[in-house]
Chain A
Amino acid sequence: MAKNTSLSGFRKIDIDIYNPENYNEDDVQNIQEDLMPNESEIVSLINSKRSNEALSLVLKNPPLNSKNQQVKDAVLNLVMRVLRSFPNSLEIDNAVKSLSDEALDVLMKYIYRGFEKEPRDSAQLLTWHEKVYAIGGNGCIVRVLTDRKRV
């Protein structure tokens, strides 16, 4: 074997920047997202046992365009707190039914993100997944997998 095969540095070169016709994502603007769910408001809603309202509020302004991972993680933690605050599956059922199509997609994104980041909560997340799937169907999951704007 030739000697230079052990060199693997070339694999890390980003060749796409040398291609004048490379694909630029124009959707992601460099707007720093200030639209972020208000944490104190949501916590107070949870504490006063108004989980339904907390859920619809926390799903309203997801930081989809944000490039700051810390912001996204903070919101994920907040969503997880809201999801944990539901006492039983009947409440979950009612909450999911009251959501709009768009909010349902966002919720599904958080559920999958939750599976990834907080596997200890999987049992609860699976309950949520079941309820969202019952309404959103396969399309809801496909949109989570397709979308490039992640939570």
Chain B
Amino acid sequence: MADLLNLSLNSSISCHAWNRDRTQLAISLNSKEVYIYSKSDNTWQLAQTLTEHSARVLSIDWAPQSNRIVTCGSDKNAYVWSLDGRVWKPELVVLRVQRAATCVKWSPNEKKFAVGCGSRCICVCYFEPLQQFWVAKHIKKQLRSTTLCLDWHPNNALLAAGGSDFKCRIFGAHIPDVDGPLTETSRWATSIKAADCIHEFSTNNSGWVYSCGFNFDGNILAFVSHDSTIYMVDCTRNPQELVSQRTPFLPFLSMKFISNTSIIVAGHDCVPLVYGLSGNKISLLEKLDVSPTKQKSSVATAKDLFGNRERINMDQSVNTTINSIHQNSINDVKILNQSGTKVTQVSTTGLDGNIVIWDLEALEKRFGNLRIR
């Protein structure tokens, strides 16, 4: 239902990414290195350590089809890693930015990727065959602060970006040389100009936008921010109308669509939650609290009693473990398995250094309110 993946890391995890068949895992432990773990006979072993960044790695994305990894970090650089025989080889991306590169995301067609950074621009990067280099085009319009999250629309032409200027925006990010002529249209915009801001949505209470995403058919944009609020825009209803739901929880740091109308969110509360989006309503379906309620022993052992009295002059024992699987904030949610547009497994990582696999099908059976459609 919710299993702990044991890699004995003992350090907080800043980001993670899976390969296509989920037999390999790239993670960064809040450091300069990226570790590639691979699974053999149900045990995870360190396969390679990617050491090219000179400062903290902030984001990793793994392109499933072309099997390439892109990483970016606070050394202002991004690298594309491709497999050469059995060894991952880096290629530098020329980002032309003066601040940390905070987030990175491959487009669905895997021909380009977007990098968000602190120097108030988003780099849309693609391989230039003439120069044999990864080059970047900048989106600068209306950005006022650091970009913290990115997500591509399934049509490869629209890009959602949220940041510390309390806004989530949709940009045109179509590159004709790479993507070919724009064939698909979407209801978000009648015409898409490159590097143009198409829509801009503000948070209610000036919260940083930590995570954003399009659903599988690309009609709904949802995002979460530091004001503990979940937002959504449904372009089939009105692409200008922002629906928000204030929540009684601590802020969410990460969100992912697990079907066309439901999202999983996780953050400082250490427990993921599933919200359903229907029409103009966002409603809590279930808190995925699977931990068994701890039986408090009524009789304290004499040794504990004296120990505590001596130490802090109190009768209660001080217990810092919390009643959830993650023992600290969850900062990254990734999709692990899906059938069609329904996600069956997600993985979460957090500051406690745990990687937890959530089996949504089993959780649906356990929680009556949880119906993922």
Which of B53-61, B214-222, B248-256 lies at the interface with chain A? B248-256
Does B165 make an interface contact (CB < 8 A)? yes
- Given A146-B226, A146-B227, decide whether A139 and B206 contact each other with a Cβ distance below 8 A: no
Beyond A138-B249, A142-B226, A146-B226, 11 additional contacts (C-beta under 8 Å) are A26-B144, A27-B206, A137-B247, A137-B249, A138-B250, A139-B247, A139-B249, A143-B205, A143-B228, A147-B206, A147-B227
B interface residues, how many (CB within 8 angstroms): 21
Does A101 make an interface contact (CB < 8 A)? yes
In the complex, chain A residues whose CB is within 8 Å of the CB of B205: 105, 143, 146-147, 149
Main DSSP-derived SS at the B contact region: loop
Does A60 make an interface contact (CB < 8 A)? no
Binding site for A on B (CB under 8 A): 120, 144-145, 165-166, 202, 204-207, 226-229, 246-251, 269
In the complex, chain B residues whose CB is within 8 Å of the CB of A107: none
Task: Give the top 5 A-B pairs by smallest Cβ distance, nearest first.
Answer: A137-B248, A139-B228, A147-B205, A148-B206, A139-B248
In the complex, chain B residues whose CB is within 8 Å of the CB of A146: 205-207, 226-227
In the complex, chain A residues whose CB is within 8 Å of the CB of B229: 139, 143
Measured CB to CB, the closest approach of chain B to A64, in angstroms, equals: 10
| Minimal Cβ-Cβ distance residue in A for B119 | A21
Most A C-beta atoms less than 10 A away, residue of B145, B226, B247, B269 = B247
Measured CB to CB, the closest approach of chain A to B147, in angstroms, equals: 14
Q: Indicate if the CB atoms of B120 and A21 lie closer than 8 Å.
A: yes
Measured CB to CB, the closest approach of chain A to B248, in angstroms, equals: 2
Tell me the bound Cα distance from A11 to B251 in angstroms. 35
Tell me the bound Cα distance from A142 to B229 in angstroms. 10
Does A35 make an interface contact (CB < 8 A)? no
In the complex, chain B residues whose CB is within 8 Å of the CB of A114: none
Measured CB to CB, the closest approach of chain A to B211, in angstroms, equals: 16
Q: Indicate if the CB atoms of A105 and B120 lie closer than 8 Å.
A: no
Encode contact with B along A41-76: 1 for CB under 8 Å, 0 otherwise.
000000000000000000000000000000000000
Measured CB to CB, the closest approach of chain B to A106, in angstroms, equals: 11
Measured CB to CB, the closest approach of chain A to B68, in angstroms, equals: 33
Measured CB to CB, the closest approach of chain B to A35, in angstroms, equals: 17
| Minimal Cβ-Cβ distance residue in B for A22 | B144
Q: Indicate if the CB atoms of A149 and B206 lie closer than 8 Å.
A: yes
